[in-house]
Amino acid sequence: MTPQEFLKTLGPAATQLYQKTGIFASVTLAQAALESGWLKKFPVDKYTGKISYNAFGIKGFGTVGSVTYDSDEVINGQRISVESQFRSYNNYYESMADHHKFLEADKYKPVRNAATPEEASRQLYACGYATDPEYPAKLIRIISQYGLKQYDVKEDKKSMKIYIDKGHGEDGDPGACNDGLIERDMTIITGNALGKRLEEYGWGVVLEQGNLEITESANAANGCGADLCISVHYNAGGGDRGEVIHSWKSGAVELANAVAQGLKKAGQTKLKIIKCKANGKGTAEHFGILRTTKMPAVIVEPCFIDNAADRIIADTMEEQKNIGICIADALAEVYGGSLAKTDAATVAAINAIHTAGVSSSPDYWLENAAPGKQVNGGYVGSLVKKATGKTTVAEAIDALQLSNPAYWLEHAVPGKTADGKFVGYLIQKIAKIL
């Protein structure tokens, strides 16, 4: 099998097992690729010729017994050939399912609890799965080269809808101001970035439009059928932390914790989650946006803009956008959602241009050459020039005979970005001429 045929065959099954067991699909696929040579070789009985369909090199007895096979092992630093009994199966799907059962043993708990595929790869060796000290590096290289993290997709809880209140509207009260920073403008930037990122995760997003009064904005959230509501603000008054204030509704604490994790991802090291104080009558939340909305709701204040040390995470527009993106990423981890993937044809093309020496950083293209992503225009320009051997972007675009040269002349330059989907098509075009 080619790597692409291999992934088409085993990729969906690996994802399903990941959703069930928590063992990264990318690691499972990398192990199968490494151990079986992309399903081209399995342990074969040295005496009977029986094929094992053992894609993971696990010793012992499988669903249809075992085969006797000589394998390379590293013992006391020496690589030697050792005759062993390897598990045998009717097909490689049985092998994959048994591999996950095998990793349910207590000794492999660090593998199951790993936070990243890279950590899981290292833990496999540390827990004794393989004797080759290069085993983790080999797995990590395969995961990177073939974009296997795209198969690490958690099952979505449901398709969520969120209402984003921009705090001070689009051209209303400026709010807190300090050293050229205006709260109203910052909330617009962060709120828009939050909404855009959540749309990439497949969420329904409703952004506050215009300058709504608090009750009007809350009613807009109720009227659109939102599952969650976030009101974006920035703080002032000499504090030194990010704050998330939550309503009294069921589910609001979970939402507040998720938003706080987003602020942590954005670099905020001091955080406080606060239950909203009561109104004058003591019967409901003090803040109108939290009191009037019917769904779990929070007010998020990422930092104090009049504290130079605290506002370091939000000094620039890019940092303010990043806060919105980080909050969205944290929400998706809790409530579900997956970003658009780089399609298989583009993954194959990225690997082809990397092998040909045109690209030295496949990870960047694997992550960004996808729908909903934006690619650094300077990187695109460098790529097309190297692929064609031309000295200017204009000459390179002409040589590639692209269908929309005007787009690339405008976007394949430093300071610009190009649509990730279009870049995927461009990379496929480059791969064909190599």
- Give the number of other CB atoms < 10 A from CB of residue 307: 17
pLDDT at 228: 96
Q: Which residue stretches of the chain have pLDDT < 50?
A: none
Contact in structure between 382 and 392 (CB atoms under 8 Å): no
3-state secondary structure of 148: helix
Domains observed in the chain: 3-151 (1.10.530.10), 161-335 (3.40.630.40), 344-433 (no CATH)
Tokens, residue 76: 């006391």
Q: How far apart are CA 305 and CA 177, in angstroms?
A: 8
Contact in structure between 120 and 114 (CB atoms under 8 Å): yes
pLDDT at 290: 97
Q: Tokens 């029986």 correspond to what residue?
A: 50
pLDDT at 341: 65
Tokens, residue 142: 């395969």
pLDDT at 240: 94
pLDDT at 147: 87
- Kindly write down the DSSP assignment for every residue of 117-173, as one continuous string: HHHHHHHHHHTTS-S-TTHHHHHHHHHHHTTGGGG--PPPS---EEEEE-SSTTTS-
